[in-house]
Chain A
Amino acid sequence: MNGPFAFTLALGDDALIAAQRLAEWTTRAPEMEEDIALANIALDQLGAARLLLSYAGELEGAGRDEDALAYLRDDREFRNCLLVELPNGDFAVTMAKLLLLSAYQLPLYTALSRCADERLAAIGGKARKESAYHLDHAALWVKRLGEGTPESHRRMQAGIEEVWPYVGELFAGWPQAPVDPATLRADFDEVVSAVLAEATLTVPESAWAPAGGRDGLHTEHLSYLLAEMQVLHRAHPGARW
């Protein structure tokens, strides 16, 4: 796979799978306002996914549109990071995932908005504003839960511990990509450690750093997610919706 195509596809897949997981919260959130907020963030992620996947399809030049890429690839062909495919868990796990994802996407899209590729720059410029909102929302909840009750503190710390190992993969070096994620790690660490400190939570230490998503080597969760997401589209080959 060529550089820009693989990179654009990877970012599109991150956003698509994150949207699918966030949308699972619809009708299940702890309060009505949060139902709206999570749907809102899911919609932003889905919007970014559609722009990225459409552009990836153009870069590839094989006639695949956003739907062909979303619905007609198997899990071995998906390029999303492992973090976004992890199950939602409780609300604390979801907020931990959202904090890490948005603290990664914000500097990534910001750098992208300044890259030489005009299409990617435009997508980055739009998505970065949304990521800033996602980061605020997640940070607010991580603080509320971290500093809320003893139970919420315990769950929030556990949530962070559970997803922290998956951070490593986000910043693996990709020198030939339009933005090398390795250059964004310091920014991420600064933001996340400040939020966790304010939330009276500790930054986990983990020697275990699972990876493989960018090579299509996923956790066992992704295949189930795709089975559900793709079932109707695949049952009616060639149909328009």
Chain B
Amino acid sequence: MYGNDFAGEDAPGGLLGEVEAAEAELRTAAERDRGAPGPEEDLAAYFTAVVDADQKIEPRDWMPEAYRRTLIRQIAQHAHSEIIGMQPEGNWISRAPSLKRKAILLAKVQDEAGHGLYLYAAAETLGISRDELVELLLSGRQKYSSIFNYPTLTWADVGAIGWLVDGAAIVNQVPLCRCSYGPYARAMIRVCKEESFHQRQGYEILHTLAHGTSAQRAMAQDALDRWWYPSLAMFGPPDGDSTHSAQSMAWKIKRFSNDDLRQRFVDMCVGQAEVLGLTIPDPDLRWNEQRQAYDFTQPDYAELMRVISGDGPCNRERMAHRRRAHEAGAWVREAAAAYAAKQASKEKVPT
């Protein structure tokens, strides 16, 4: 699938191109001497100057408490999404229809656990521990992406998740490669590169199904029908209702509005769906010459709110599964800690 189907995406200015550019900017920013606040200097003014100059805030820097809290919330929820997001796809590992697909899917779900680890590590630079964050997830006080509360009912859903869900995640995350907080920006660069690979693999699954038997083709269309609107909802509520946007934009944590990113995603998907020969389930989807963008039907935001508040199809199951694994593993973690303590005390004893 490399090349043709994603023409435009790898081109300069395409999504991967943007990741590379952000990476180059990070390197340049790291080499520039941005000075240090003098003892007399106002820390808040220095923080603002660093952000305004597109330099990176690093863990040792002073930062407004609200900036720290916003980042902890956003990075943690992102990490939780990677961990919970392993479940819907993990659901098909045992039944993957060929050994090659099984290997690819297993590797993908493993990558997601790795992304969760990078992101928890990035959040820890803000002064909170992974254990505390996991506790916030398990107690329901922090959220994860609404999309993972939808069930994977057929094999084609694995393809649709790769294409649409990972696609939406990339559109959301590419701008975060330029986010003002250095550790998050660096984590996003690594994550985006791997996600982009996953998206191609998902697209390839759907492409194979869409060009397979009539039953496979129907399976692919059904998956697109079910995942389209939940994927559009991943960009969050419309701009008018988004509570965190203005401040996050000013701090350069967020760089584009929810609606701008959603539009970009729709514009990207239309051509890709045509190559698949599948129909996006929106009768009002059409090119708007004046806006140079597609008009489309918005997702049902009342449904999004229901899912976020815990009443989606799989919320209970996803959380119960995570809690069960955590509880069932407690004795193993205790054993590892006890063993490490014994080894440490053995090393201290002079021989």
**CB within 8 Å of B: which residues of A?**
16, 20, 23-24, 26-36, 39-40, 42-43, 46-47, 49-50, 53, 66-67, 70-71, 90-91, 143-145, 147-149, 151-152, 155, 228-229, 231-233, 236, 238-241
Instruction: Give the distance to chain B from A99, nearest Cβ to Cβ, in Å.
Output: 15
B43 at the interface (CB under 8 A from A): no
A sample of 24 inter-chain contacts (CB < 8 A) reads A16-B99, A23-B102, A27-B109, A29-B329, A33-B117, A34-B329, A36-B117, A39-B110, A40-B110, A43-B110, A46-B106, A50-B99, A144-B336, A144-B339, A145-B332, A147-B342, A148-B335, A148-B337, A152-B338, A239-B212, A239-B213, A240-B208, A241-B97, A241-B155
Task: Contact check, B333 vs A30: say whether CB atoms are below 8 A apart.
Answer: yes
**In contact, B83 and A32 (Cβ under 8 angstroms):** yes
If A46-B102, A149-B334, A239-B212 touch, does A27 touch B90 (CB 8 Å cutoff)?
yes
> How far, in whole Å, are A66 and B110 apart by their CA atoms in the complex?
23
A149 & B335 in contact (Cβ 8 Å cutoff): yes
**With A26-B93, A236-B213 as given contacts, are A152 and B335 in contact (CB-CB < 8 Å)?**
yes
B325 touches A27 (CB 8 A): yes
**Which single member of B83, B99, B330, B339 contacts A143 (CB below 8 Å)?**
B339
Interface residues of B in 87-126 (CB under 8 A from A): 87, 90, 93-103, 106-107, 109-110, 113-114, 116-117, 120
Name the distance in Å between A151's Cβ and chain B's nearest Cβ.
5
Find chain B residues with CB under 8 A from A151 CB: 331, 334-335
Size of chain B's interface in residues, with CB distance under 8 A?
Answer: 49
- Whole-angstrom distance between the Cβ of B180 and the nearest chain A Cβ: 27
Instruction: Check B339 against A147 for contact (C-beta < 8 Å).
Output: yes
**In the bound complex, what is the Cα–Cα distance between A23 and B338 (angstroms)?**
27
| Residues of B bordering A, CB below 8 Å | 83, 86-87, 90, 93-103, 106-107, 109-110, 113-114, 116-117, 120, 155, 205, 208-209, 212-213, 215-216, 321-322, 324-325, 328-339, 342
In the bound complex, what is the Cα–Cα distance between A28 and B77 (angstroms)?
A: 20
CB–CB B212/A20 < 8 A: no
Using A144-B339, A152-B335, A239-B213 as known contacts, say yes or no to A28 and B328 having CB atoms under 8 A apart: yes
Does A229 lie within 8 Å of B95, measured CB to CB? yes
A17 CB, nearest partner CB in chain B, Å: 12
Q: Which residues of A contact B330 (CB under 8 A)?
A: 30
Residues of B within 8 A of A147 (CB): 339, 342
Q: Nearest Cβ in chain B — how far from A32, in angstroms?
A: 6
A50-B99, A148-B336, A240-B212 given; A23·B94 CB < 8 A: yes
How far does the Cβ of A186 sit from chain B's closest Cβ, in whole Å? 29
Judging by beta carbons under 8 Å apart, are A145 and B335 in contact?
yes
CA distance A97 to B282 in the complex (A): 51
What chain A residues lie within 8 Å of B339 (beta carbons)?
A: 143-145, 147-148
* Whole-angstrom CA separation of A228 from B102 in the bound complex: 13
Residues of B with C-beta under 8 A to A29: 325, 329
- List the B side residues contacting A239 at CB < 8 Å: 97, 212-213, 215-216
